[in-house]
């Protein structure tokens, strides 16, 4: 819109600042103070409740303190967020939140990322005057759905979870029953918190009332490091963060990306971290020998690949990154190639975030000249070639009936991460990196290029995909084969017209859609 | 007054109740806004609102069961379990207290052989303490069903209980038909 | 009797036939509606503003001004009558609906007309079961006679009325709580802004008025603002129903001219204390206002300003007379139990604070209280007052603070261990769970 935005002048804690008209005082205060006002119930993506009463500030001219989350800035407003009156009120209201709160910290997963702990350390630090015997007790450790467990006693009744289920998923499984200090969060008997986004309630719960069953008692949060990356569960490509200790991933959480997923992600996506540590991981190179597959050193496996000769058919998959696919296509040269089975990796989508395409990078296959084929066409392609068949990711042996018969006795070489039908039929298996173990670019359903990041180390014997491919490219005579990740991305930009206008080494955090790129259904809601 | 529930597995309003329910949906501007009077129709017929009734109502009003249960659990007059035949709700708020509610309550406890909050073994009487009933100048008072008994004394309580036990017509103080 | 002249709202109280439409019409009923429809809504609003009618539910906000907040271009407007009367000590709206339901209805129709409402919801607390029947019967009569429905009395104005039954929640007496209850939600108050007059029921402009307020409207329309102002003071115009409880000779509902000195009301209208009773304290306007000592009460006039100046509030007009024999700590325990029962639970200070206050007072009454507990009570009050969405929190704090402040010796006696009333021990320990 070309309209000029009216600005208003507001004084916060002595600082005079300008804000666009209509700015929420809560946001204005955060900007002025450099940190948010204390709060539990306010959330920018949920309707305002105004019930926790913590974000109250002094606005000159108003007799009572005002909640900043429900106030819009007005020109000339004078606000105090750190006055004695406000500080005292914050402390008193915080104390009210704690009088019936169980001191579960030693056994509560929320410890270390708990709103009550944080607020108490910031401005509580008082002596409790509540009689323990008078505390209100409520039900604890109640499984309320496949992914979420509820502790009613810890709940501070901020109502975020209820508002989430009412307005984001529209499923309304949660309610606050009864009134007064008997009020408690819950579900209807016989019902479950089973919507596809239930774990977001765990994210937004400021305390340990709603916690993840998957994460329960596994790791103290202060031991975790976080790496921002992209979910590989479907073509939406939500921004996520991988929380890991050392090389073990413990959970995924969404990262805010206003262009893609807002602050949310789906439950299925959250659990994709499990595949990284699956017992089906290919841990070492394998050669077919004596009717079975035996582990061999890399040198021996690579020698076997050389001996098999230049592959006559090159088959990739939409699980690979843009760089990996570009290298693969360059290696294939003029030989028949495919992006894999077009019907594989399809499921159900919804109107919120989940895409029916369960692969993270199908759009990049077209950009790199690796079109997909349906089962019949793929088999036809194979039959029309001679020599080794090189499969990179995916599982065509399971996805296309007759694939193995079509390959016949030809050497089948598999580059992949997990044991599957194709790997088990292969003559040579080369283990490479799982999605959280390597850097790479993905193209989502919006045509948005996003950077996926390495969070944990790959297994000792697994290789970094792009280096392996680049080495082969160099060995085949290409002098310009890239030798480092930045160089790789420049190399990709030169060869993939769709991204030629982007600086792939400096993408914004929310990713970028190249001008003119196809954009399917998408965008965060 | 209570009539036996449908088999407990499924529930539906029938006959005149269904007619009144349909009329509600025509009267109220949204389905959701009809939830309170709908709960009253169910409770007036069955004495309480069962789980099956909640499931039925959720379907009719296109609300989740959780939203129906929020309303059901928030308002004290709705009951989720079967009630005694006569629920005696005695006000224990300030004005009735000043005028002798405690004496009345103690007397009723003794007469019925139950403590406040309990039901007699034969399921005939339940004794509850409730907040202000809006009869402060005529207290102590108690509510039974839709009527009030006011100016309570132990003697008056005895007379009311006697009528209830015998199944005789009752004469609450707010029954205007009696004045005609 | 000179008191008769003030019976404007209460003139039909006690009669057995006045609820019938035929009787009401014969005595001039629905003439005000006819006049209002002829005058037009602007004139009605003007007259009510001029009359200085103030909300009779407890807040005392000028009714005409409230009506004026509705945007003139609003397409859909709702009017709601607050008959949720649940303030302890208050039982005046009940009398209006019992003996003069058509007066309430006529006032509701005129008020709805004034704000251009297409639907009027009369929200009656669930405990008034017999009154709900009575109001519904009156509504049915009115529909049959053409005072409700389409093209009322040929004016072109359509109005639907719903009699809505509550189900036991004091908080539904708060106007946004009432609106949310009608919406089919829990009766929890809403944050403001938005204000109901602009965005209320189903996000449309909604005006909520007390039963007694709407009952005054026909008189104002028929006889004019000046006539209404014949009684009362400049700022507290008109008459008010006071429902009086406690051991006075004449408890019940009295209609007084606002500004009447309490002393006069007490002696001439209420007949003073009943035999053997002595006045100790007075709660003037429903349990949520600060208590007055007998001496303080004798010094006030019964109007909004005078009560405010005396550190209390006229409130709902639910007057509770407390005799000498009463233990003030016992009474405040009763009240703290009430607010704990009735807190809707949304706002943390009220939800947790009402429970805490109740437990602290109970602790004192069990003989387990300490001097620190008295200070703690004040601290809890401070963490509750003025910090919540609605005034229920303050409604608990005002009696608590005033009882503690004005009858402190009784609280201190409990701390010192003198159990003033032996048989209370079981009561306090077991009854007040």
Domain ranges in chain B are 15-74, 86-179
Q: Any idea which architecture A7-97 has in CATH?
A: Roll (3.10)
Neighbours of chain A (3+ CB pairs under 8 A): B, C
- Predicted TM-score (pTM) of the model is 0.95
What is the percent of chain C with per-residue pLDDT over 70, rounded to a whole number? 96
- Give the pLDDT mean for A508-523: 73
Residues contacting A375, CB < 8 A, separation 6+: A341, A343, A399, A400, A401, A402, A403
Q: Do β-strands A7-12 and A15-20 pair in parallel, antiparallel, or remain unpaired? A: antiparallel
B35 touches chain A (CB under 8 A): no
**Are A173 and B64 inside 8 Å of each other by CB?**
yes
d(CA A465, CA A392): 10
The reply to whether residue C387 touches residue A93, judged by beta carbons under 8 angstroms, is: yes
Task: Judge residue C302's burial from the number of C-beta atoms within 10 Å of its C-beta, 0-12 exposed, 13-18 middle, 19 or more buried.
Answer: buried
Tell which residue, A369, A133, A353, has the closest CA to residue A263: A353
CA distance C41 to chain B (A): 25
Has residue C182 got a pLDDT over 50? yes
Give the pLDDT confidence score for residue A133 in this predicted structure: 85
Contacts of B69 in chain A (CB under 8 A): 175, 177, 188
Q: Is it the case that residue C425 has pLDDT exceeding 80?
A: no
Mean pLDDT of chain A: 95
Quickly count: other Cβ atoms within 10 Å of residue A227's Cβ. Answer: 15
Q: How far is it, in rounded angstroms, from Cα A273 to Cα A219?
A: 15
Radius of gyration of chain C (CA): 22
Spatial distance between the Cα atoms of C388 and C394, rounded to a whole number of angstroms:
9
What angle, 0 to 180 degrees and rounded to 10, lies between the N-to-C axes of helices C408-416 and C328-342?
A: 100
> Is pLDDT above 70 for B10?
yes
pLDDT band at C426 (very low <50, low <70, confident <90, very high): low
Rounded Cα distance, C42 and C60, in Å: 22
Contact of B9 with chain C, judged by CB distance below 8 Å, is answered with no
DSSP state of A233: S
CATH 2.60.40.10 given to domain C2-228: no
Q: Count residue pairs from A and C with Cβ separation < 8 A.
A: 93
CA–CA distance, C65 with A347 (Å, rounded to integer): 60
Confidence of residue A129 (pLDDT cuts 50, 70, 90): confident
* Chain A residues interacting with chain C (CB cutoff of 8 angstroms): 48-53, 56, 64-65, 67, 70, 89, 92-93, 95-97, 99-100, 129-131, 134, 136, 156-157, 159, 176, 178-183
Best of A172, A175, A179 to substitute, by most chain B Cβ atoms within 10 angstroms, is A175
Nearest chain B residue to C161 by CA distance is B27
pLDDT, mean of residues C300-306: 97
CA C351 from chain centre, in angstroms, equals 22
Three-state secondary structure call for residue C83: strand
- According to CATH, the topology of domain C239-323 is Ubiquitin-like (UB roll) (3.10.20)
In chain A, which residues have their Cβ closer than 8 Å to the Cβ of B67?
172, 175
Confidence tier at B1 by pLDDT (50, 70, 90): very low
Backbone angles phi, psi at C172, to 5 degrees: -70, -5
Q: How many CA atoms lie within 13 A of C186 on its CB side?
A: 25
- Confidence band (pLDDT; 50, 70, 90) for C417? low
Return the SS3 of A192. coil
Question: DSSP secondary-structure letter at C405?
Answer: H
Residues of chain B in contact with residue A187, where contact means CB-CB under 8 angstroms, are: 66
The residue-averaged pLDDT of C325-346 equals 97
pLDDT tens sequence across A237-269: 999 999 999 999 999 999 999 999 999 999 999
Q: Pick C433 or A425 by higher pLDDT.
A: A425
Q: How is residue C202 annotated by DSSP?
A: G
Taking residue A439's Cβ as centre, other Cβ atoms within 10 Å add up to 18
* Rounded CA separation C397/C19 (Å): 39
Looking at domain A133-221, which CATH architecture does it have? 2-Layer Sandwich (3.30)
Q: CA–CA separation, C402 vs C315, rounded Å?
A: 16
Are C219 and C96 in contact by the 8 Å Cβ rule? The answer is no
Question: Rounded to the nearest 5°, which phi and psi values hold at A286?
Answer: -125, 145
The full DSSP string for A239-250 is EEEEEEETTEEE
- pLDDT for residue A522: 46
> In C, which residues are within 8 Å of A65 by CB distance?
386-387
**CATH T-level fold of B86-179:** Glutaredoxin (3.40.30)
* pLDDT score, position A525: 36
Q: What is the pLDDT of residue A130?
A: 83
List the chains bordering chain B where 3 or more Cβ pairs fall under 8 Å.
A, C
Residues of chain C numbered 279-298 and touching chain A (CB < 8 Å): none
CA distance A172 to chain C (A): 13
The pLDDT score that the predictor gives to residue A115 is: 95
State the pLDDT confidence band at A84, using cuts at 50, 70 and 90: very high
Q: How far apart are CA C83 and CA C123, in angstroms?
A: 5
Residues of A with CB under 8 A from a CB of B: 171-179, 186-191
Domain boundaries, chain C: 2-228, 239-323, 328-431
CA distance A264 to chain B (A): 23
Q: Find the closest chain C residue to A69 by CA distance.
A: C191
> Could you tell me where in chain A the CATH 3.10.20.740 domains are found?
7-97
Give domain C328-431's CATH number out of 1.20.1440.230, 1.10.3300.10, 3.40.50.460, 3.30.479.10: 1.20.1440.230
Question: What 3-state class would DSSP assign to A472?
Answer: helix
Is the pLDDT reported for residue B4 higher than 70?
no
pLDDT level of residue B9 (50, 70, 90 thresholds): low
Query: Chain A residues with CB inside 8 Å of C356's CB?
Result: 96, 99, 130
Q: How confident is the model at residue A3 (pLDDT cuts 50, 70, 90)?
A: low
Q: Smallest CA–CA separation between B154 and chain A, in Å?
A: 33
User: CATH fold of A286-499, please?
Assistant: Rossmann fold (3.40.50)
- 3-state helix/strand/coil string of A279-347: CCECCCCEEEECCEEEECCHHHHHHHHHHHCCCCEEECCCCCCHHHHHHHHHHHCCCCEECCECCCCEC
The pLDDT score that the predictor gives to residue C418 is 54
Please, what is the Cα angle at C368 between C367 and C373, to 5 degrees? Answer: 115
Q: What are the structure tokens assigned to A12, written together? A: 């916060």
Q: What are A518-523's contacts with CB under 8 Å, separation 24+?
A: A518/A363, A518/A447, A519/A445, A519/A446, A519/A447, A520/A235, A520/A445, A520/A446, A520/A447, A521/A355, A521/A445, A522/A236, A522/A260, A522/A355, A522/A444, A522/A445, A522/A446, A522/A448, A523/A259, A523/A260, A523/A446
How far apart, in Å, are the Cα atoms of A238 and each of A46, A230, A235, A432, A456? 19, 6, 9, 24, 19
Q: How many residues does chain C have?
A: 433
Query: Which residues 6+ apart lie within 8 Å of C16 measured at CB?
Result: B176, B179, B180
- CA C47 to chain B, closest CA, distance in angstroms equals 32
């Amino acid at each position: 819109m070309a309209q000029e935005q009216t600005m208003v002048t507001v004084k916060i804690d002595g600082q005079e600042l300008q804000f666009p008209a209509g700015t929420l005082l809560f946001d204005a205060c955060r900007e002025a103070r450099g940190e948010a006002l204390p709060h539990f119930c306010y959330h920018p993506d949920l309707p305002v409740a105004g019930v926790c009463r913590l974000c109250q500030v002094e606005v000159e001219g108003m007799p009572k303190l005002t909640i900043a989350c429900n106030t819009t800035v007005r020109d000339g407003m004078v606000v105090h967020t750190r006055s004695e009156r406000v500080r005292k009120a914050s402390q008193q209201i915080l104390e009210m939140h704690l009088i019936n709160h169980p001191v579960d910290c030693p056994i509560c997963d929320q410890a270390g990322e708990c709103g009550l702990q944080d607020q108490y350390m910031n401005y509580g630090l008082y002596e409790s005057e509540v009689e323990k015997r008078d505390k209100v007790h409520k039900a604890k450790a109640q499984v309320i759905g496949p992914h979420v467990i509820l502790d009613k006693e810890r709940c501070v009744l901020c109502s975020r979870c209820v508002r989430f289920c009412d307005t984001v998923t529209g499923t309304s499984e949660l309610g606050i029953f009864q009134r007064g200090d008997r009020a408690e969060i819950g579900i209807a008997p016989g019902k479950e918190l089973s919507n596809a986004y239930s774990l977001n309630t765990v994210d937004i719960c400021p305390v340990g009332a709603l916690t993840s069953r998957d994460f329960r008692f596994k790791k103290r949060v202060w031991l975790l490091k976080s790496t921002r990356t992209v979910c590989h569960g479907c073509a939406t490509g939500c921004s996520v963060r991988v929380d890991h200790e050392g090389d073990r991933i413990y959970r995924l959480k969404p990262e805010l990306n206003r262009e893609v997923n807002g602050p949310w992600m789906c439950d299925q996506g959250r659990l994709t971290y499990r595949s990284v540590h699956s017992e089906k991981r290919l841990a070492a190179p394998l050669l077919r020998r004596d009717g079975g597959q035996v582990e061999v050193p890399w040198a021996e496996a690579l020698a076997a690949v050389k001996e098999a000769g230049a592959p006559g058919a090159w088959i990739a998959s939409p699980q690979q990154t843009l760089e990996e696919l570009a290298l693969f296509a360059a290696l294939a040269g003029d030989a028949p190639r495919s992006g894999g089975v077009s019907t594989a990796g399809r499921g159900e989508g919804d109107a919120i975030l989940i895409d029916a395409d369960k692969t993270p990078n199908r759009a990049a296959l077209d950009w790199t000249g690796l079109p997909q084929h349906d089962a019949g066409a793929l088999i036809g392609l194979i039959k029309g070639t001679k020599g080794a068949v090189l499969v990179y990711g995916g599982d065509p042996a399971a996805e296309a009936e007759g694939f193995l018969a079509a390959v016949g006795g030809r050497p089948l070489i598999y580059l992949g991460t997990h044991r599957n039908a194709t790997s088990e039929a292969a003559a040579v298996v080369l283990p490479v990196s799982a999605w959280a173990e390597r850097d790479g670019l993905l193209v989502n359903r919006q045509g948005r290029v996003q950077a996926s990041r390495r969070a944990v180390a790959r297994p000792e014997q697994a290789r970094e995909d792009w280096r392996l491919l680049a080495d082969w490219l160099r060995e085949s005579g290409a002098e310009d084969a890239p030798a480092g990740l930045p160089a790789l991305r420049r190399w990709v930009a030169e060869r993939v017209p769709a991204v030629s206008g982007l600086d792939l080494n400096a993408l914004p955090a929310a990713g970028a859609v190249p001008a003119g790129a196809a954009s399917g259904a998408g965008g965060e809601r | 007054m209570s009539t036996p529930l449908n088999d407990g597995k499924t529930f539906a309003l029938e006959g005149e109740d269904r007619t009144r329910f349909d009329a509600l949906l025509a009267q109220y501007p949204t389905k959701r806004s009809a939830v309170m009077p709908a709960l009253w129709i169910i409770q007036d017929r069955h004495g309480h609102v069962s789980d099956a009734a909640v499931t039925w109502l959720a379907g009719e009003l296109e609300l989740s069961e959780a939203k129906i249960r929020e309303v059901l659990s928030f308002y004290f007059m709705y009951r989720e379990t079967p009630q005694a035949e006569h629920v005696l709700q005695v006000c224990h708020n300030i004005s009735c207290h000043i005028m002798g509610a405690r004496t009345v309550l103690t007397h009723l406890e003794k007469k019925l052989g139950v403590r406040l909050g309990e039901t007699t073994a034969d399921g005939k009487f339940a004794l509850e303490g409730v907040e202000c009933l809006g009869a402060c100048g005529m207290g102590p008072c108690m509510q039974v069903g839709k009527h009030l008994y006011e100016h309570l004394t132990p003697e008056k309580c005895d007379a009311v209980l006697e009528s209830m036990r015998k199944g005789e017509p009752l004469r609450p103080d707010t029954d205007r038909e009696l004045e005609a | 009797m000179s008191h008769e002249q003030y019976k404007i709202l209460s003139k039909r109280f006690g009669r057995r036939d006045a609820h019938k439409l035929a009787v009401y019409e014969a005595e001039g009923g629905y003439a005000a509606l006819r006049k209002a429809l002829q005058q037009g809504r602007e004139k009605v609003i003007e007259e009510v503003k001029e009359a200085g009618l103030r909300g009779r539910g407890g807040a005392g906000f000028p009714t005409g001004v409230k009506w004026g907040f509705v945007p003139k271009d609003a397409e859909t407007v709702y009017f709601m009558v607050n008959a949720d009367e649940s303030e302890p000590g208050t039982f005046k709206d009940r009398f209006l609906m019992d003996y003069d339901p058509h007066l309430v209805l006529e006032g509701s129709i005129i008020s709805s007309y004034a704000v251009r409402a297409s639907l009027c919801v009369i929200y009656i607390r669930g405990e008034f079961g017999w009154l709900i029947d009575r109001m519904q019967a009156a509504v049915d009569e009115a529909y049959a006679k053409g005072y409700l429905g389409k093209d009322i009395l040929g004016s072109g104005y359509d109005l639907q009325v719903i009699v809505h039954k509550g189900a036991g929640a004091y908080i539904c007496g708060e106007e946004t709580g009432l609106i949310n209850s009608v919406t089919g939600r829990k009766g929890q108050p809403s944050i403001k802004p938005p204000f109901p007059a602009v965005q209320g029921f189903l996000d449309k402009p909604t005006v909520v008025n007390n039963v007694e307020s709407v009952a005054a409207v026909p008189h104002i329309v028929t006889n004019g603002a000046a006539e209404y102002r014949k009684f009362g003071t400049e700022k507290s115009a008109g008459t008010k129903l006071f429902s009086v409880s406690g051991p006075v000779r004449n408890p019940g509902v009295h209609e007084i001219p606002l500004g009447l000195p309490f002393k006069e009301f007490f002696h001439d209208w209420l007949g003073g204390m009943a035999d053997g009773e002595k006045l100790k304290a007075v709660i003037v306007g429903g349990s949520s206002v600060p208590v007055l000592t007998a001496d303080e009460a004798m010094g006030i006039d019964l109007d909004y300003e005078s009560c405010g100046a005396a550190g209390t509030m006229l409130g709902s007009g639910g007057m509770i007379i407390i005799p000498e024999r009463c233990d003030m700590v016992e009474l405040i325990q009763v009240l703290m139990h009430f607010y704990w029962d009735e807190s809707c639970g949304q706002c943390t200070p009220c939800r947790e604070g009402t429970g805490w206050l109740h437990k602290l007072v109970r602790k004192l009454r069990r003989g387990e209280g300490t001097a620190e507990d008295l200070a703690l009570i004040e601290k809890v009050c401070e963490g509750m007052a003025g910090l919540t969405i609605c005034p229920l929190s303050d409604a608990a704090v005002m009696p608590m603070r005033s009882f503690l402040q004005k009858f402190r010796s009784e609280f201190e006696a409990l701390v010192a261990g003198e159990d003033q009333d032996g048989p209370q021990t079981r009561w306090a320990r077991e009854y007040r769970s």
